[in-house]
Amino acid sequence: MKRSSPLRHLAGLAPLLLLAACSADPPEYSRSEVDNNDPNNDPGNNDPGNNDPNNDPNNGPNNDPNNNPNNDPNNDPGNNDPNNGEPDVIVEPDVIVPDTETIGGGCMDDGGCSPGEICVGADPRFGVVGYCTVLDCETSAECDFPRGGTFCCSNFGQFRGCFLEAEGAVCGDESGRQNDPCVEGGQSDCDGADDLYCAAFYGEESAICTEACTPGNDACQPGTTCFQTAPNFGICIPHGDTGEQESCREDPFACDQGSFCLQQIEDDPHRYCARLCSGDEGCDPGDWCQRFPGQQQGVCEPIGQTDEGASCTEDRFGCQEDLFCLYEGTRFAECTSLCRRPADCDQEGGFICDYYDEDNSLGICIRYGGRETGAACGDNPFACAEGAFCVGGYGNFFNPDAYCADDCGLDPDLCPEGFVCQDFGPSGSFCQPDGDAQPGEACAGPTDCASGSYCLQGERGERFCALGCIDDVACGPEEYCTGDAEQPGVCYPFGDIGAGESCVGQELSCEAGAFCAGPDPVCISLCTDDPGSCPEGMACLEADEDGQRYCYPYGDTEGYAACQGSYDCEEGFYCSLRGDQGLCLPDCALDSDCAEGFWCFRTRTWSQCLPDRGGQTGDPCAEDGFACAQDHLCLFAGTAEAVCVEDCTGFAGRCGDGEVCRYIGWGVNICQPVNEGPTNTSCVDDALICDAQSICVGIGRRNAFCAQLCTFDPEGCPEGTACVFSPGGLGTCLPPDFDPGDPIDGGGPL
């Protein structure tokens, strides 16, 4: 069961969260220091991107700042910092004893290690387990411990000892100089004798060897700057010449001196350069210093014009002073502020201080909707009343009709009549409808089914109730459970369509263990690393974040070659269609992942290498949907009106005069030319005639018209129309039965 709460599971606070990781202590210590169990002590922990706000409201429990205490996801014993769990008294052994019962194993303090060993990397406050090791070795051969992974003999600060390397790493030759790449957490790649450390400042992929430095007395090499990580201590970080609020996606070290590359989520495709500050006086005119409560440093952010509670989806830098963009990167993004007490919020405007960290009185000013338990909420995390959650939706096949459900705290008396308090384990408990329809019986909507079951959509449009489950035990002999203890599912009927076979129009008819998916739907099954675990013509994909792997059909068309069908391409490539043209393209993280002449287009949810064919803003792309230049997309692809427009996702300032950065769904913003055609104007002859409040829908048809946009105001459509959302999330006011076309596949904006 998927649910969404704007605050209970929130980590999308502000760029300021990312600063908290910059408080590391120096990576060397004296024998007199005590009680220095700071999980931030490793320079490898100094990743401004490690605080992963993950601003998607659909992310449920992952959006909790409390999931990342002390803002330190790199707090792994493999980070090799003796300060992480420094003993009160260090006892240096006379000889290395590599076969004790404890060496290389886990520990929480020195008491868990044998005499002569110390516990490195532990932090009992947060349950972080360290490891037992010794600070006396000559070669890595002496660190071949019987347990615990790969240990290497290397210098770390003033000590030389056996330090745990990152998983899968091998011992380096300690030759790495400033800016040389290294394995995150692997000190043996760097010349520790010359005070170089392996620091993953921007995450694992950007780990480099770097020198220590003293802030204010910068002795860093040219092209690097001393970044303060603790009082009187810093590390030398490379810098470039990229200015503030400009993209640093391709190179996190591209930002100019005094700035760093800020990311809202891990590996953020829209990360940008931001200047550190301690007050407004440290920022340019028109900017303000945005600081997280309790932090002495912040980042300079532009002062925008967007009011509290208004959308910032189309301009994440648009919020007024003292506000930030909550859920940045989604269509529900809105400007709001931090709070410590109710009076910090605009109570007259309906805002309340909803605490995400009650222990420290940290919260966010939220204005909830008024929809009560059982009311439809689409997938809007703000639609429900205070204390209620938007349950279902998000394309959830077993509960497609999202509704508001009160948090009941396992107290059945808190639910209204017709609802029961359902326990969903780690996800919490909430009031679930208790209708009359039993599993297997017909239903018309989500509140018709009896408690514990959900209204499913069948392959021919029929709807029926299905029992919720976490394993097959609860299901009938002809059913299997689609979920598990961590992600509940439903008892799903077996079908007879095998893996790799078409399931178009028969979405519920795949054989046990398979499901219907793909651009031209086929039955997809689980697989393993065994080459024979997939049927002929299918290959096993890499494991997803849950460790599951699936069989996916492939053809024999080479990568980057032309294709026509969804599964024409060889393994690792997918047939991307733009109108009548198709290319076999891979996904990507950076431009360097793509072939020469291609660039990496990325949203927060998907990516693809696209060709750079030179087409600039306004150039036609009707004959070639891939004719546009880097950072440009083909608007209205597949129609005679198709033109190239610039991608402005995350950077509204890219748009020129006469353009607006328009959200068109699927996490994509484009620079849309703005003309004078008001709502209801025909756009048959000119797809770009519409004004800033509308967009042309029904492209290529005789009834194409400028439809009023309602993405951020679904209730504001004129009489006789309703707000209809595309699969990607673009909302337009349409008359009954009007088909606007899909925004990706043609007949729509992209």
Q: What is the pLDDT of residue 747?
A: 46
Mean pLDDT score, 506-531: 81
Q: Tell me: do 600 and 661 sit in the same domain.
A: no
- Could you give the angle at the alpha carbon of 666 between the alpha carbons of 639 and 737, nearest 5°? 60
More confident residue, 189 or 470: 189
Whole-model pTM: value is 0.75
Q: Say yes or no to pLDDT of 750 above 70.
A: no
Mean pLDDT score, 428-450: 86
Give CA–CA dist 58/310, Å, rounded: 20
Q: Say yes or no to pLDDT of 262 above 80.
A: yes
Q: What is the pLDDT of residue 28?
A: 28
Q: Tell me: do 37 and 130 sit in the same domain.
A: yes
Q: Tell me: do 700 and 611 sit in the same domain.
A: no
Q: Say yes or no to pLDDT of 85 above 50.
A: no
Q: CA-CA-CA-CA torsion for 577, 582, 585, 587, nearest 10 degrees?
A: 0
Last residue of a domain, one of 201, 216, 243: 201
Q: Tell me: do 623 and 687 sit in the same domain.
A: no
Q: What is the pLDDT of residue 239?
A: 93
Give CA–CA dist 40/458, Å, rounded: 51
HSE toward the beta carbon, residue 571, CA cutoff 13 A: 10
Q: Tell me: do 91 and 132 sit in the same domain.
A: yes
Name the amino acid, one letter, at 545. E
Q: Say yes or no to pLDDT of 20 above 60.
A: no
Give CA–CA dist 23/83, Å, rounded: 13
Mean pLDDT score, 22-30: 29
More confident residue, 397 or 566: 566
Mean pLDDT score, 533-538: 86
Tell me, yes or no, whether 120 lies in a domain. Answer: yes
Q: Say yes or no to pLDDT of 307 above 80.
A: yes
Number of other CB atoms surrounding residue 615 within 10 Å: 20
Q: How far is CA 357 from CA 13, 64, 68, 244, 389, in A?
A: 12, 9, 12, 31, 18
Give CA–CA dist 728/369, Å, rounded: 23
User: 36-50, 72-86, 689-703 — which is least confidently predicted?
Assistant: 36-50
> Over the chain, what is the mean pLDDT?
79
Mean pLDDT score, 356-368: 84
Q: Tell me: do 617 and 673 sit in the same domain.
A: no
Mean pLDDT score, 414-443: 83
* Residue 132 pLDDT grade (very low, low, confident, very high; cuts 50, 70, 90): very high
Q: Tell me: do 685 and 577 sit in the same domain.
A: no
Q: Say yes or no to pLDDT of 620 above 90.
A: yes
Mean pLDDT score, 635-647: 89
Q: Tell me: do 616 and 678 sit in the same domain.
A: no
* Residue 459 pLDDT grade (very low, low, confident, very high; cuts 50, 70, 90): low
Percent of the chain at pLDDT > 70 equals 81
Q: What is the pLDDT of residue 425?
A: 64
Q: What is the pLDDT of residue 110?
A: 92
DSSP-derived secondary structure for 307-323: PTTSB-TT-TT-BPTT-
pLDDT tens track for 191-212: 888 888 888 888 777 889 998 8
pLDDT tens track for 275-294: 988 899 999 999 999 987 76
Mean pLDDT score, 382-391: 80
Q: CA-CA-CA-CA torsion for 254, 255, 257, 260, nearest 10 degrees?
A: -120
Closest CA to 677 of 694, 698, 660, 661: 694
Tell me, yes or no, whether 86 lies in a domain. Answer: yes
Q: What is the pLDDT of residue 21?
A: 28
User: Exposure of 286 by Cβ count < 10 A (0-12 exposed, 13-18 middle, 19+ buried)?
Assistant: exposed
Give CA–CA dist 266/203, Å, rounded: 8
More confident residue, 169 or 591: 591
For residue 665, give the H/E element and its range: strand 659-665
Contact 196, 177 (CB under 8 A): yes
Q: Tell me: do 169 and 86 sit in the same domain.
A: yes
Q: Tell me: do 744 and 690 sit in the same domain.
A: yes
Domain that holds residue 623: 554-635
Q: What is the pLDDT of residue 457?
A: 67
Q: Tell me: do 184 and 43 sit in the same domain.
A: yes
More confident residue, 676 or 39: 676
Mean pLDDT score, 331-335: 90
* Residue 541 pLDDT grade (very low, low, confident, very high; cuts 50, 70, 90): confident
DSSP state of 344: G
Give CA–CA dist 85/42, Å, rounded: 11
Mean pLDDT score, 355-361: 81
H/E/C letters for each residue in 660-726? EEEEEECCEEEEEECCCECCCCECCCCCCCECCCEEEECCCCCCCEEEEECCCCCCCCCCCCEEEEC
Closest CA to 556 of 542, 534, 541, 536: 536
Q: Say yes or no to pLDDT of 38 above 80.
A: no
Give CA–CA dist 635/7, Å, rounded: 36
Q: Say yes or no to pLDDT of 464 above 90.
A: no
* Residue 42 pLDDT grade (very low, low, confident, very high; cuts 50, 70, 90): very low
DSSP state of 492: E
pLDDT tens track for 175-188: 999 999 988 767 88
Q: Say yes or no to pLDDT of 737 above 90.
A: no
Q: Tell me: do 166 and 40 sit in the same domain.
A: yes
Q: Say yes or no to pLDDT of 461 above 70.
A: no
- What's the length of the chain? 750
More confident residue, 69 or 145: 145
Give CA–CA dist 475/490, Å, rounded: 8
Tell me, yes or no, whether 610 lies in a domain. Answer: yes
CA–chain centroid gap for 161, Å, is 37
* 3-state secondary structure (DSSP) of residue 261: strand
Contacts of 622 by beta carbon, 8 Å cutoff, 6+ apart: 579, 639, 640, 641, 642
* Residue 546 pLDDT grade (very low, low, confident, very high; cuts 50, 70, 90): low
pLDDT tens track for 647-693: 999 999 999 999 999 999 888 999 999 999 999 999 988 889 999 99
Mean pLDDT score, 37-52: 30
Q: Say yes or no to pLDDT of 455 above 70.
A: yes
Last residue of a domain, one of 635, 660, 682: 635
Number of other CB atoms surrounding residue 347 within 10 Å: 12
Q: What burial letters (b/e) apply to 138-163, b meaning 16+ CB within 10 Å?
A: eebebbebeebebbbbbbbbebbbbb
Mean pLDDT score, 295-304: 87
Last residue of a domain, one of 164, 181, 201: 201
Give CA–CA dist 592/595, Å, rounded: 8
Number of structural domains, the chain? 3
DSSP state of 531: G
Contact 178, 239 (CB under 8 A): no
Q: Say yes or no to pLDDT of 721 above 90.
A: yes
The sign of the CA dihedral 198, 199, 203, 208 is: negative
pLDDT tens track for 92-118: 444 444 688 899 999 999 999 999 899
Identify any residues that bridge with 156 across adjacent strands, giving them in sequence order: 159
Give CA–CA dist 278/405, Å, rounded: 42
Give CA–CA dist 537/630, Å, rounded: 34
Mean pLDDT score, 52-80: 30
User: Exposure of 474 by Cβ count < 10 A (0-12 exposed, 13-18 middle, 19+ buried)?
Assistant: middle
CA–chain centroid gap for 214, Å, is 34
